[in-house]
Structure formats: C-alpha cells, structure tokens
Structure 1
Amino acid sequence: MSLLPPFESKNSLRSLDDCMKVLPAAITCGNKRIRPKRALNEFVQLDLLTPRLDKIYRYLWLAGEPTPARPLHRQRLLRREIVVTQNPDEHLVEDRAVIFIKPLPEYLLSFEFWITHLSSDRNLHQSACGLLLSYVWIVAYHDDMRIAQETHLLPKSVDWAAWKDFVEDFLEHVGASTPPHVSKRYNYGELWLRHLNVIYKFSPSTFSVGNLHDSFLNGPMWYGFFIERNLTRLFAIFAFLSLGLSAMQVGQATPELRDSAQFSRASYGFSVATLFLILFSVLGVILAWTVPRGFRLLARRWLKRRLTGIS
C-alpha cells in the first residue's frame, strides 16, 4: 500500500528538481562508492535508516531519555558545539561539549520526492518522518532557525513563516509525540555517546572483540579521549595514594609511631600494595589499548586472505 507524505503539497518547500540538483555526486560507504543519481534508493537508505541504533534499541534507555531533543538555542546555552554529521545513526548524539546533528536533507521538504521515492518502503518512510520530527524538536523558535541556517542544518532559502506552516501541517499528519508510523529510534531524543559506546561493546547483538576498541563511534579524535579518561582517573587515584604515603612518612617521624611495630607493618603493606597497584594500572591501560587493536589487525589480515584466496 502506498504511504502518503506527512504534509500537504501546498506546504512543500522544495520541488523534485531542486532536490535532485543538491544531491552529492558520489559518496563512499566502507569500500563501496555510491552515485546517488544512479542509485537513489540505496543512497536514501544510507541517508535515513539507523541500523546500528536499531540493533541496540532495547538498551537505548541506558543512553538517553524518552523525551524530545532540546532546541538549538538550548544547546548553545549549554555551551555545546554543534558538529555536522551525515550519518543518521549519529544524529542527536552528544559527547561532553559536542552534539552531532545531521543536516535536514532537502528532499524531505519536497512533496513530489515523498510520493516518488518514499511512499513504497515503510521503514524508509518511518525514518524520514522521524528525522523530520527531530527537526520539529530542535527548530522550535525563530532563534533556532537562525542557528540552524548558520550551521548549515537547514537551507537559508527556507523562511520562518514557511517553516511554521510546514511544521503545523506535519504535526497534523504525524503528531507531536512519536506515533507508530515514526521510526522507533525517535522515541528517544538526545543520546549520550559514552553510554552508547558501552552498550555497543557489550550488547549481545553487537559484541565482538573489535568493538572492545572501536565501540559505537570510533575515530582519531576519540583515541585522545580514551587516554584522557583513563589516565585522569589513574592520576586521581595516585594522588590519594601519594597523600596516604606522605602521611605514613610523617607518622614514621613521630616518636609515638616510629617504634610501633603495627604501624610499621601497615606502612610496609600499604607501600607494597601501592607499587603493585601502579604497576597493574599502567599494564591495564596498555593492554586495553593494544590488545583489541591487535585482534582487529589479525582479523583484517584473516579477512583479506579469505577474500584474496591466500592460504
């Protein structure tokens, strides 16, 4: 059965021709190159579906709240930098002072495009409705529109009055909440990256040795965070241990404790335990950093041999 667009044709903000003109010439997905105008359905699926989040959906309550995302002016108020991502899985994922937001594809503003390319696939239709709904959340005020256009999330040609009419029409069709015809991912607004990383590492549906290192969102910028998080915690522990050792050293200098056999044994045990703790902590960080990378390297070599037929 054909699915209808979530707005009337009179409120369409883009024509089909305009949408086709702004599509990228080519994109790369893994080792595959896709040319959207020649493989439009495949491109739209990559542009809208959230397969990685769908795999761990039952655990998303650990990574976010079932509430709408905050408007863009609130994100600025919270001192969050808006970083553009084209991956729908990363849309509205936040990490510290950063929130990732996917620009709204202009074709979702075209009634003709919905009829032509989004009316026959229910999953695609639900994901498209969900992404539009997320923009209803984050572009709620005129200031949000200004921020969205400054950060290239919305085209500058869309004016506030037309956007309001579009949103009102959309909400008449879809509703302000997340009904069944909206992708289940959008039952949640903002998602916390650190929690997603833990879920993705240990969820039965996504667990692998490689994920112990890669997690949900992997890249060079997160390696520094890995070291920073672990070493900062270790330095805090070492600081407390150093205070304890210093206090014991002061105690050994006092007449009352200098000749105490029990205090001497306690100081000796604490000192030895501290040395072992430091040693094991450093080894633990090194192993946590190198072992998963080693497994990934071996797995890649094994896969390469399988693909090339090398024994």
Structure 2
Amino acid sequence: MAQQSPRPWPFTTEVLGTMDGTGDALPATYHYYEPLGKNHKGRVVVDPVNGVPQFLDMELSLGYLGEILHHLWFAGSKHPATQLHFQVAMGREIIVADRIDLHLLWENNSRLFIKPIPRFLLYPSFWRDNLACAAGCACEVSQAAAYGSYAGKPPENQGPLAVPCRESLRRVALGFLYTYACLVSSESDFHVANDKRLLPRQADDSAITWAKWKELARELLKNHDPDKVHPRFLRAELRLSRINMISRFTRLPPIDLYLRGWRNYSILFRDNFIWMTAATVYVALVLTAMQVGLAIERLREDTGFQRASYGFTIFAILGPLCAFSLVALGALFNLAKDLPWLLRDKASQPQRQRRDIEN
C-alpha cells in the first residue's frame, strides 16, 4: 500500500478552540509599502479581510533575509532557538516586533526581537483553508510522487487565474512555529511568553493553558521536518550587526543597512565616534612606540622599520579623516533618503489645514 502524502498543516491541537470565521483570526489592519515614484515607497493601512492571500504574502515575507540565505552562516550557527527563560538570564531584553523578518534577531546591546505568534497560525482550519495548496499544485504533485501516492499527470499551465502555490509561505510558517516550540519549552518559558504577550489569548482575554501548549509543542516537534521548513529558521538567533555587515557587501548602495539602530543623527555620530576614539587611542600608542623605536640606534638604522613607521604615520593622518568622511557620507545618504518624505509632508500640510478649515 502506497504511503500517503502528509497533511500540509503541522498540528491538530486547537489551543484557541474552533475558528468562527477567517476574519476573527486576522488582525484589525495591516501595513505594507507601495511604490511612490521611482525610489520611494509609501506606507498603506489595509483591512486583511479584503485580501487574505495578499495579507499572508506580507505577513510571512522574510524580505531581504530570503535573498542572503547562503550568507547567514556569518550571522548565526545552525541550532534550535534558546529557551526564553535563558534568554532573560543572559541579560537579553525581549523586544516585541511584529515583523517576521526581525524574529530572533539580536543587537549588541542585548536587545532580542521576537515576533508574537499571530492568532491565525494556531487554527488548523486556517492552515487548511489558506496555507494548503490547491489540488494539482506543482508542489503537491512532486510531494505526492515522492511518497508514491500520485498516479496522475503533472498539471500543465493553468493560466493566470490559477491559485498560486502556497508552499513558500507554508515553509516560513512551519519554521516560525518550530522556533516557538523551542523557545517555550518549560513552564518558566511559558510564563515569560505570557508576560510579554508573545502568545495569543482566548476570546475572553484569558491565557492559553499550559496543558494545551504542551500538547501543541509536542505535536509540532513530532511533525517537524527540517526539509519542509524555511532554511532561515534552522539558524534561530541571528546577530543584527552581522546582518547589517552582509547588507553592506551585498546591496547597493553599501551605506544602506538592513535595519539601522539609530533614530537621529546625534546617535549616529555618537555611536561611530566611540569606536573612532578607541581606534585613535590605539594609533597614538603605536605612534608613540615607533617614536621610541626611532630613538634607538639599532631601529633608527633599520630600513624596514623606517618604511613601516613612514607608512603608519601616513595612515594615522589619513585614517581618521577617511573614517569621519564615511560617517558623514552615511549621514548625508540617509538625509537624502529622508528629505523627500519631509518635503512631501511639508507640501501636504497646507492642504490638510485648508481641508480642516473648510470642514
């Protein structure tokens, strides 16, 4: 007897009860960016009920992280996510960030971004209705053929009205839930997750019970298959500073970061002047040592030492100037990016004032 293809949803445990309707499981609104001109985007707020597939495309999008999978080894090793209570014990501050591309990214100041579990991902019926591919989907055919349960012909071109494949979104959702099965392992983790509101709550605002969560986590681990989850979630925590470094070398312009950790230019200059000051102190120590060395007869007559002293002296003069120029260039680049928004807001302000007066 041929082995049956596995179901596309990873659990049957209903920790939140049954779903009355798709709209009840979705958020009130969601934000996304649409193009405004050549190099600018504007943020738009939309009702997710009016387009569930479009909402899922935005909600489960990894963005730039999906483009640099082969570079993520530099930002974090392959391992399950560390338990929440131990994250707190290590001094990390849990920051709620409702973006899946920021999930489990941590900064050097010990801030750890974690995305709460969306309510809709804990309803098996939502998985069946919105994250399962349609019959005859290419991914379903290849999967069923691998399990020896498909006897038909692969589907041909189904035209532009065909239901798009949901496999990529499903892999992201599976990986995301797997991280929570690792994060919330003990009852201590469960209490931390509830304190930070990382787990959705019941309709009466009561928390999910520990017994129900254990049942769900065990089922997620039982059905976990590394080949069926998105590779990003196999690395758990990623260092944000290294993601920014990868962004510098793989995107243009190189000044553009994945996520900038400053919100005003004074913080930008302050953070960069810290390492520039430390580097300047080290350079001063080396120059002092070279000056002492040149006073010694043996080193004064050494041609190699004189060349090294000459080269390092030139570096000590030009290095700080170049470093400061790069910081200033970064500030100017970000100002050039922000300026159109400021000018547009300034231009639209009189129009808003006139409308308010007329109303």
Which bin holds the TM-score, normalised by the shorter protein?
0.7 to 0.9
Give the paired residue count: 286
Say which SS state the counterpart of residue 16 (structure 1) adopts: coil
Deviation string 1:1-41 (CA, Å, 9 cap, x unpaired) is 99532112x54534323773363332322223322121222
User: d(CA) in 2 for partners of 1:199 and 1:89?
Assistant: 15
1:13 aligned to which of 12, 16, 41 = 16
Task: Read off the aligned partner of 1:118 and give its amino acid letter.
Answer: L
Tell me which residue corresponds to 2:276: 234
Q: Note if 1:103 corresponds to 2:147.
A: no
Q: Is 214-223 or 30-39 further displaced after alignment?
A: 214-223
Match of 1:208 in 2: 252
Please tell me whether residue 165 in structure 1 is matched to residue 215 in structure 2: yes
Cα separation, 1, equivalents of 2:199 and 2:329? 43
Change (3 A) 1:223 1:192: farther
**Aligned residue runs from structure 1 range 192-271, under 5 A:** 192-203=239-250, 207-209=251-253, 212-218=254-260, 220-221=262-263, 227-228=269-270, 230-243=272-285, 262=300
The residue that corresponds to 2:328 in the other structure is 290
Task: Measure the CA separation in 1 of the matches of 2:292 and 2:227.
Answer: 68
**1:4 corresponds to 2:8:** yes
Q: 1:191 aligns with which of 217, 238, 244?
A: 238
The structure 1 residue matched to 2:60, chosen from 48, 65, 82, is 48
What is the aligned-residue RMSD (CA, Å)?
Answer: 3.6
Where do 5+ consecutive residues of structure 1 fail to align? Answer: 303-311
The answer to whether the Cα contact below 8 Å between 1:90 and 1:100 also exists between their aligned partners in 2 is yes
Shift of 1:283: 2.5
Match in the other structure for 1:71: 83
Pick closer, same or farther for the CA change 1:168–1:294 going to 2, 3 Å.
same
The alignment-based identity, stated in percent, is 28
Tell me if structure 2 keeps the 8 A contact 1:71–1:140.
yes
Determine the C-alpha separation between the residues in 1 that align with 2:289 and 2:168. Answer: 64
Secondary structure in 2 matching 1:99: strand
1:136 and 2:181 correspond: yes
Change (3 A) 1:250 1:122: closer
Give the TM-score of the pair, scaled to structure 1.
0.77
Alpha-carbon distance, 1:223 to partner? 6.2
Structure 2: gaps of 5 or more residues: 34-41, 134-165, 202-206, 341-359
Given candidates 54, 59, 69, the residue that maps to 1:57 is 69
Separation of aligned partners in 1, 2:228 and 2:115: 21
Q: Deviations over 1:213-236 (max 9, x none)?
A: 221112534967754554333322
2:265 and 2:331 in contact (8 A); partners too:
no
More helix by share: 1
Distance 2:247 2:259 in 1: 9
**Residue identity matched to 2:252:** S
1:19, 1:106 within 8 Å by CA — same for their partners in 2?
no
| CA drift at 1:290 | 3.4
Q: How far apart are residue 51 of structure 1 and its match?
A: 2.8
> How much has 1:194 moved relative to structure 2?
1.2
1:225-263 Cα offsets, whole Å, 9 max, x none, are 7545543333223323444566788999xxxx6999949
SS in structure 2 at match of 1:213: coil
DSSP-derived class of the 2:220 partner: helix
1:26 aligns with 2:29: yes
CA distance in 2, matches of 1:37, 1:187: 31
